[in-house]
Homo-oligomer: A and B are copies of this chain.
Amino acid sequence: MEEVKTVQNKKVILKKYVDGIPTEADMGVKLGETIELKAPKGSSCFLVKNLYLSCDPYMRGRMRDFHGSYLPPFVLGQRLEGFGLGRVIDSDDVNYKPGDIVSGIIGWEEYSLLRSVDHLQLRKIQLDDDIPLSYHLGLLGMPGFTAYAGFYEICCPKKGDTVFVSAASGAVGQLVGQLAKLQGCYVVGSAGSKQKVDLLKHEIGFDDAFNYKEEADFDAALKRYFPEGINIYFDNVGGSMLDAALLNMKVRGRIALCGMVSLQSLSSSSQGINNLYNAIPKRVRLEGFLQSDYLHIFPQFLEHVKRYYKEGKIVYIEDMSEGLELAPAALVGLFSGENIGKQVVRVAKE
C-alpha cells in the first residue's frame, strides 16, 4: 500500500473585513488542517506546492464585506487567494503532471488543490532559462498583461503622443511606460519616493518622473512636465491626480482607468473628482477596463513581451518578500507604497 505524506498546511487567513486600508492585524498566519499530499482520485484536481504569491491592489476589494463587485469577498477565517505560481506534486488531471509549473489563482498557503475548470487564467508555464520564474506573476503575468491590454486596447497610442503614468514604478506602471517608449511616445511617471523616481528615470527609461509627495499642486506639476498637454493618461491611482490630469488633457485625450489605489478613492468623505466637465470641450474619453476581458490576446502579449525582454528592450523591477509569514506585511505595504516594483512573496524555493 502506498504511503501518503501528510503536512499541516500553513496559511494566511482573513481575520476581519476591511473598511479602508488593510492592516496586518486584519490577517493571520496559522497552521491549517493536516492534508495528504495527493490529488483525490476522480476529483480532476491537482495538488501544487506553492512557490510564489502575487500581492495585487485589487485584492483589497475582496477584503471588504461587499458582495456587489465582480469578485466575491474572501471568507472570514479562511485563507486568502490570489495569483500565484506552484509546482504540481500530484495530479488527477491528465493535462497536468507532477513537475509542471502552473500559474493561476492559488491559496495563500503552502499547498493548494486546484481544478482547471475553476478559473480561466490557470495555465502551465513554459520555463525560460533567461527569465526569472517569478516574472510570470508580474511582467509576464496579470499586471504585465493589464499594462499591455490597457495600453494598446484602451489608450490607442500613436508615435509622438505624450503619456502620463501614475504609480509608475509599480507592477503595471513600469511596463506601461516602457511600452509607450517603444511606441515612440514621450513618457512621464509619478511615484512616491526619490528612489522610485530615480529608478523610473535611470533604470526603467521614462523620459521624466516626479515624486507626487513633493508636489503641493498636481495641476502645476503636470503643466511643468506637459506644457502642451497629455494625450494618454494611464491612471493607477484615481483621486486628485486623476482630477489634475483632467485639467491637462489634450483634445481627444484618452484616460485608461486601471486602478484607484490612492486613499482618496476610498474615502466617501473625500472631495471627489471635480474636473470631469473638462472632458466635454476636450472630447476626452475615460474608460475602465479589466485585463480578463482581453485573454484572447494573452498569447500575443507573452510572445511580444518575452521578446522585448530577451532583446534587452525592457526591464522589470521586482520586490521579493521571503516566506508566508511576511505575506500580510507585503500586501499591506502596497497601500503605503513600500514596495519598489512588483511585490511578490516567495513561499518556497523553486
Contact = CB atoms under 8 A, between A and B. Distances in A.
Contacts of A265: 277
Nearest to A254: B287
Contacts of A242: 276
Interface in A220-277: 238, 242-243, 257-260, 265, 268, 270-274, 276-277
Contacts of A278: 288
27 contacts: A61-B281, A69-B281, A70-B281, A70-B282, A238-B277, A257-B280, A259-B280, A260-B276, A260-B277, A260-B280, A265-B277, A268-B274, A270-B274, A272-B274, A279-B286, A279-B287, A279-B288, A280-B288, A280-B290, A283-B289, A283-B290, A283-B293, A284-B288, A285-B286, A285-B287, A286-B286, A286-B287
Interface string A126-167: 000000000000000000000000000000000000000000
A68 to B, nearest CB: 9
Given A260-B276, A280-B290, A285-B288, 5 more contacts: A257-B277, A258-B280, A259-B280, A279-B286, A285-B285
Q: Return the 7 tightest CB-CB contacts between A and B, nearest first.
A: A272-B272, A279-B288, A280-B288, A273-B273, A272-B274, A70-B281, A285-B287
Interface of A: 61, 69-70, 238, 242-243, 257-260, 265, 268, 270-274, 276-290, 293
Given A284-B287, A285-B286, A257 B279 contact: yes
A280 B256 CA distance: 9
Q: Looking at chain A's contact residues, is the secondary structure mostly helix, strand, loop, or mixed? A: loop
Contacts of A238: 276-277
Interface centre among A238, A280, A286 (most CB of B within 10 A): A280
A238 B277 CA distance: 8
Contacts of A287: 279, 283-286
Nearest to A61: B281
Contacts of A258: 280
Contacts of A257: 276-277, 279-280
A268 B280 CA distance: 17
Interface centre among A70, A243, A260, A281 (most CB of B within 10 A): A281
Contacts of A61: 281
Contacts of A280: 257-260, 288-290
Interface centre among A242, A265, A279 (most CB of B within 10 A): A279
A224 B194 CA distance: 50
A268 B277 CA distance: 12
A104 to B, nearest CB: 20
Contacts of A276: 238, 242, 257, 260, 273, 276, 286
Nearest to A281: B70
A265 B257 CA distance: 21
A143 to B, nearest CB: 15
A128 B276 CA distance: 40
Contacts of A277: 238, 257, 260, 265
A285 B278 CA distance: 16
Contacts of A288: 278-285
